[in-house]
Amino acid sequence: MILYNFSYLCPKILKDNNMRTIGFILCFSFLFSCCNKLFKDEELSQQRVPYTGNEIRTDGYYYYYWASQDSPVDDYTAVFFLYRNGVFLVGQSYKSINLDTVEKKMLDRYELLVQKKVGWGVFIITNDKLDFEHWYSAAGGLPVAKSLYYIENDTTLRSPYEQIYHFKQFSPKPDSSAAYKWIK
């Protein structure tokens, strides 16, 4: 068996700033990936229940847009989807208040949305309230965010912070059956 001695490379590698940076990134990535395996994702407290009512629409998405008074660079649109099978999906936020632009960006992100657990969850409706929970990104395991929105009518929802979400009919939506990997 032949053994190679690579120790002569170490002083050279440590003196090279690019190699130190790459080494730091590799070490950090390794540690971060190990930590993620140590922490468990939080469980959803609600069960997925098919939605059969007519209090809300499910053939599109709900959106809220915020236009900055100071700078149009800070304008954004937040989007979420509700499905008849009881699944909820945060469709992310987009740096635009133009819905055509937002929809194009959504279509570009579909492949990512259906591959990751982040953003998926469940919802239930009780009287005039939409109660949902979903996983969100954080260091370690994925925690669960819980929210309660008020149903104004089948196309308008109000958050506890008085943000008004409007409905827009839209197709195709991301495939909610992708969430069945995580939601039973």
Phi, psi of 3 (to 5 degrees): -105, 135
Which tokens go with 130?
């939409």
Q: How confident is the model at residue 66 (pLDDT cuts 50, 70, 90)?
A: confident
Predicted local distance difference test score (pLDDT) of residue 13: 47
Q: What pLDDT, on a 0 to 100 scale, did the predictor assign at position 96?
A: 76
In the chain, alpha helices (H): 10-15, 17-38, 99-113
**Paired tokens of 95:** 């740096």
pLDDT at 89 over 70: yes
DSSP state of 172: S
How distant, in Å, are the alpha carbons of 109, 117, 177, 184 from that of 181? 19, 9, 8, 8
pTM of the entire predicted model: 0.74
Over residues 108-117, mean pLDDT: 82
Of residues 109 and 146, more confidence is placed in 146
Q: For the chain, which residues make up each domain, given as ranges?
A: 7-38, 60-181
